[in-house]
Structure 1
Amino acid sequence: MRSREEAILANWLFYNGVEYRYEEPYKYRTADQDHRQYRPDFYYPGVDLYHEHFALDAQGEAPPKFAGYLDGVKWKRQLHSERSTALIETTSHQIRSGDVFEHLARELTRRGIELDPNPDREVPIGGQRPMEPAELIGLMRTFISHAKSNCLTISALRQRLDSIPQEDFKHRYRMFLNIAAPIIEAWDAALAAEGGIDFEDMLNLAASHLERGRYEAPYELIMADEFQDASRARARLCRALVKKPGRFFFAVGDDWQSINRFAGADVSVMTGFREWFGHGQILKLEQTFRCPQALCDASSRFVSKNDAQISKKVRSATPAVGPVLQAFQVDHREKLADAIDQFVERLSQGVMDGSIPPGRNGKVTVYVLGRYNADRQYVPGRKGRFARWVDVSFLTIHRSKGSEADYVILPEMLSAPRGRSFPNTRADDPVLALAMPAGDDYPLGEERRLFYVALTRARRSVVMFTARGQCSHFLRELEADGAVAITDTDGKAVREEGCPSCKQGVLMLRSGPYGKFRSCSNFPACSYKPIRLATSAP
């Protein structure tokens, strides 16, 4: 689909079992010197009905940047009138208000289309599946955790919903809150029936007792580690423990590292420390004894583009051993495992022949760090060949905090429209904003912090692997910054032309029934094709 709003409509049509064709050419020829052949947004062949979705607000006005848009709307309406073809319309305003579905159901059924709602309808190959039950359960638990950490009642959540700008798709937020509200009520009722509390209740009740003087803590010093993982409820408790004179609070954390959002962590508690706790001295630990300086510079430059974070200048006295960042590209994703296997074998050979200095215990250590648990598959399968010289193990990046190895391998530096990718563009569901404070809104902020963690686990080098046409945005960014050069596994530089349409894939040469042509590597998600290559005459 060409827009998110059209995708919303298409999902609803699919859910209801409505046969439609997207942007099928109009039945009458319209191409002339002023117009291309007209392609209405949707066509319903069963009832010979066209459907246009217009980017119009409640007053029937188009966005200011859509120059000449209303002229196009007028032309389309006039064309259907002159040709006596049936047309129904929907608007952006109806999408934002949620009225679009009732309107569309009424218009379609009135013309003889029978709706058949079915949440279990099989998704076509290549289509994105709806949220799985387990994923929805996890999202719901995270939502409850954030809501309670921020002391938000259901009425307060509804007030937040009302304050969301009209240009957002509020209907989805409203649907989610209509599910969440009775679950929260049932959750609290079940706890009350057992005389129990959950973890967020415990934090809030403890803070409330301290704030109201019902309990006086005997502690003069409160210390908190990993403070970037603090939720608002935890920060409130820490503040309540030291509210009396002569009490002190000491917190240690790194807001550049990934945070535990599923436990309600809010990085703004740390970045806005003085707003929470008043005056205080900030001491920056800027000396590292792990990464060489060049790796510190590249990783710091990457993560500190988010200026909502605390600025630091990381220094290191650790000497470099070879290139600190390496990136290898293979032709297909299926070749990643072999490429990683070959790299570890070369590493082992280098330690054996003395060209690579050994680390501790006469070996070099290697972490295969995965964005997902499934990345464990990239640990070399025949580790016995390397065991004397190389110690290889697997960790997810989330679990690697505090760990280090001589070499870090990032096995899937990929950007895929569907499936596993790093960065994961579905890291946080937008509905969580209903229960979370306004904090870090930097694009992919949490994924950037996670990547920073991965980069800074290495004592010598981070080695990244990618596949042609699927290179990670993060790896491309490092390349653009001059921090790394992407090569094939033989060390030859990779040259690719980016797709000007989706801005993610690259143009690849393919063969078809009419000869060779170029198209985006993200096909079918992106259907961009430049001018066909000329072929020689027979």
Structure 2
Amino acid sequence: ITTTRRFRQSLIDASGAFVMQDKSLYAKQLRNPSDKKDYSLKALGGATQEERFDAIVEQLRKLPKAASVLMLGRYRSDLNLLSRNDRDGLFQIDEHTGGIVFPEKPDMDIKFMTAHASKGLQRDFVFLLCCSGGLKGFPSAIPEEPLLGLLLPEVERMPHAEERRLFYVAMTRCKKKLFFVVDQSRPSRFMYELHDRICPNIFHGVKLPPQCPNCGEALRLRHTGSDPSRAFYGCTGFPNCRYTRPCK
């Protein structure tokens, strides 16, 4: 099967280019013969959780009132982005079922789940909540069980191979538009890939910090004492990564 009408050609192209960075995978070219290739991906940014929460609300207000929406996280704790930053009571959230009511648009069908649980499902619009680095980012930096590493074939040795396939699953859950909710203080290394090599045009207004050439995490501006002339960039992966560079 090389044709699909489940999602738009721009998403087919971007998700395919992303997952095929893993050269051990079998290459298959999908196309949507009925699509005009309107761009179906957009990056939303914020350096703080509050800013990312506000960006999500702004987009929800622009969507059709009866749209179906999927909020995807890498872990269930990613729902905290909504539940812990809702200062004005904009949502009614059932943390057990993942059901979300947005009273401004009561006919909107909104559901939260993890990327793993979303396999096989589709909604009109998808918000990928966890586009950050770090231990519980996406890709997750939580070590695999040692036994699992022994069971995986050698082709699985590409760094983050399983996380890459899971991110592809998350990307392809939408029918109309996918929103990446980007942590601009510590973006996912997958965001750097999309920004630098695959779909840079979706990052309008969402600037990423420099990326660590050693481990792929973000660099952060730091200071030694109070002297601004002694500023430098340090890796957010510290202490596991100790890369630094002067601030030019």
TM > 0.5 fold call: yes
Flag the 1:408–1:528 CA change in 2: closer, same or farther, 3 A: same
Partner of 1:392: 110
Cα pair distance change 1:403/1:439, threshold 3 Å: same
In 2, the alpha carbon distance for the partners of 1:438 and 1:524 equals 29
Query: Which amino acid counterpart does residue 15 of structure 2 have in structure 1?
Result: S
Structure 1 residues 504, 399: closer, same or farther in 2, change over 3 A? same
- Structure 2 residue 91 is the aligned partner of structure 1 residue 381: yes
Please give the alpha-carbon distance, in whole angstroms, between the structure 2 residues aligned to 1:434 and 1:523. Answer: 26
The answer as to 2:176 corresponding to 1:463 is no
Q: Secondary structure at 1:461's aligned position in 2?
A: strand
Counterparts of 1:512 and 1:322, CA distance in 2: 50
For the residue of structure 2 that corresponds to 1:327, the secondary structure is: strand
Change (3 A) 1:476 1:523: closer
Pairs within 5 Å for 1:230-241: none
Select which of 218, 228, 236 maps to 1:515. Answer: 228
Could you tell me which amino acid in structure 2 is paired with residue 465 of structure 1? V
Matched, 1:426 2:142: yes
- Structure 1 position 468, deviation (Å): 2.2
TM-score by length of 2: 0.79
Contact 2:187 2:208 (C-alpha < 8 Å) held by counterparts: no
- Over the matched positions of the two proteins, sequence identity in percent amounts to 27
Higher share of residues assigned helix: 1
Root-mean-square deviation (CA, aligned residues, Å) is 2.8
Report 1 or 2 for greater relative contact order, CA contacts < 8 Å, sequence distance ≥ 6: 2
State the partner residue of 1:366: 69
Counterpart amino acid of 1:504? E
C-alpha displacement of 1:436: 4.8
Tell me the secondary structure at the aligned position of residue 116 of structure 2. helix
The residue number in structure 2 matching 1:342 is: 58
Closer, same or farther: CA 454–531 of 1 in aligned 2, 3 Å: closer
The amino acid of 2:190's aligned partner reads F
Equivalenced residue count is 230
Q: Please say if residues 322 and 461 of structure 1, whose CA atoms lie closer than 8 Å, have aligned partners that are also in contact.
A: no
Equivalent residue, structure 2, for 1:406: 124
2:96 equivalent in structure 1 = none
Distance 1:301 1:319, change over 3 A: same
Tell me the TM-score normalized by structure 1: 0.39
Alignment correspondent of 1:11: none
Give the Cα–Cα distance (whole angstroms) in 2 for the partners of residues 436 and 518 of structure 1.
40
2:6 aligned with 1:287, yes or no? no
What is the CA deviation profile of residues 451-492 of structure 1, one whole-angstrom value per residue up to 9, with x for unaligned ones?
1111111111110012223111111111122314464xxx52
Counterpart residue type for residue 227 of structure 2? Y
Q: Which residue number corresponds to residue 86 of structure 1?
A: none
SS at match of 2:156: coil
Letter in 2 for 1:381: F
- The equivalent position to 1:306 in structure 2, one of 22, 29, 39, is 22
1:325 has 2:41 as partner: yes
- State the Cα deviation string for residues 239-275 of structure 1 (Å, max 9, x = none): xxxxxxxxxxxxxxxxxxxxxxxxxxxxxxxxxxxxx
Tell me: CA distance 1:407–1:528, structure 2 relative to 1, closer, same or farther (3 Å).
same
**In structure 2, what is the Cα distance between the partners aligned to 1:433 and 1:500?**
26
Q: Give the number of the structure whose residues are more often strand, by fraction.
A: 2
**Cα deviations across residues 144-198 of structure 1 (Å, max 9, x unaligned)?**
xxxxxxxxxxxxxxxxxxxxxxxxxxxxxxxxxxxxxxxxxxxxxxxxxxxxxxx
Distance in 1 (CA, whole Å) between partners of 2:185 and 2:51 is 14
CA distance in 1, matches of 2:36, 2:111: 23
1:435 is displaced (CA, Å) by: 4.3
Which residue pairs with 1:163 in the alignment? Answer: none
5+ residue gaps, structure 2, are 83-89, 93-101
Q: CA deviation at 1:415?
A: 0.8
- Is 1:496 the counterpart of 2:214 in the alignment? no
User: What SS does the aligned partner of 1:400 have?
Assistant: coil
The one-letter amino acid paired with 1:371 is R
Q: Does 1:444 align with 2:147?
A: no
Structure 1 pair 458–436 and aligned structure 2 pair: CA distance change class (3 A): closer
The change in CA–CA distance for 1:527 and 1:440 in structure 2 (over 3 A counts) is: closer
User: Following the alignment from structure 2 to structure 1, what is the Cα–Cα distance between the partners of residues 24 and 123?
Assistant: 30
Q: CA deviation at 1:442?
A: 2.5
- 8 Å contact kept, 1:369–1:411: yes
* Cα distance, 1:367–1:459 mapped onto 2, change above 3 Å: same
Structure 1 residues 501 and 512, CA, compared in 2 at 3 Å: closer, same or farther? farther
Contact 1:327-1:485 at 8 Å conserved across structures:
no
For 2:99, the equivalent position in structure 1 comes to none
In structure 1, what is the Cα distance between the partners aligned to 2:50 and 2:242?
Answer: 23
CA drift of 1:324 comes to: 1.2
- Could you give the per-residue CA deviations for residues 324-376 of structure 1, whole angstroms, max 9, x where no partner exists? 111122122453223222221232xxx36xxxxxxxxxx22110011111122
> 8 Å contact 1:365–1:406 — kept in the other structure?
yes
Residues in 2 aligned to 1:509 and 1:437: alpha-carbon distance in whole angstroms: 41
Shift of residue 422 of structure 1? 0.2
Instruction: Output the amino acid matched with 1:314.
Output: L
Task: Please give the alpha-carbon distance, in whole angstroms, between the structure 2 residues aligned to 1:395 and 1:298.
Answer: 23
Report the counterpart of residue 415 of structure 1 in structure 2.
133
Equivalent residue, structure 2, for 1:505: 218
More divergent stretch after superposition (445-454 vs 369-378): 369-378
1:429 positional shift: 2.9
| Alignment gaps of 5+ in structure 1 | 1-284, 353-362, 534-538
**SS, match of residue 185 in structure 2:** coil
